[in-house]
Amino acid sequence: MIRLDRLLVNMKFGSRKEVQDLIKNGEVYVNGKIETKKDRKLNPTNDKVVVLGEELYYKDEIILAVNKPIGYLSANIDPMHPVIIDLLKEPYHRHDFKIAGRLDLDSQGLLILTTSGHTVHEITNPNKKIVKTYEVTTDEIIDIKMLNRLLEPIKILDGNNDSYITKALEVKLLSDKMALISLDEGKFHQVKRMFRAIGYEVINLKRIKIGKYLMPNIK
């Protein structure tokens, strides 16, 4: 149960005073009736709440699979670039989403947005060994023998530029310059650095799977 005024603040209808004024002025309906008590206790998953004609969409946990375009940051706010949160439309625009599994500005593909800190932990905790799959486009034709070297231990640099030994769980050649790679790690620029270690520059990187989650509209 939650107080009506606290719910409306959490759902970004304004400051505490602003939402209390909305309630006082008869702009809030609960289960079809005007509610003027700011301290009314309700269950937002069961009670129907309408504010200024907008019905609240509320769930205890929301998980969204989002296809991040190139040029968007994996962030909630940024003064320089558009962010993935900018893509959210009704009824999700009033929720505070956390991002599970970030991608670079020049990369695209699957991001998981969720209101649950637990879900973020389950996806991002390195000890969970969640498998992530990427579609990689390279600058040159890929030699299958070189690609298969990624299945063996290979030395790259991590986010601190320290040497790090890693290997892919699975690789698959899709076309002359395109391959799939699956990993259960997520070091800084790991896929790009792994391909660079075998002589290729990644010119496009698209994540298509995180654990059980698939990229929307994947074919």
Count of other CB atoms within 10 angstroms of residue 149: 18
Residue 144 corresponds to which amino acid?
I
CA–CA gap between residue 83 and residue 205 (Å, rounded): 18
Q: Which residues share a beta bridge with 178?
A: 137, 175
Q: With contact defined as beta carbons under 8 Å apart, do 9 and 15 qualify?
A: yes
Q: How many CB atoms lie within 10 A of CB 40?
A: 18
Contacts 24+ apart (CB under 8 A), 36-43: 37/4, 38/3, 38/4, 38/5, 39/3, 39/4, 39/5, 40/3, 40/4, 41/1, 41/2, 41/3, 41/4, 42/1, 42/2, 42/4, 42/7, 43/1, 43/2
Of 47, 78, 86, 104, the active-site residue reads: 104
Q: How far apart are CA 171 and CA 165, in angstroms?
A: 17
- Residue 104 is among the residues annotated as catalytic for this protein: yes
Report the candidate in 205, 187, 183, 209 with the shortest Cα–Cα distance to residue 111: 209
**Contact (CB, 8 A) for 104 and 69:** no
Residues with a known catalytic role = 104
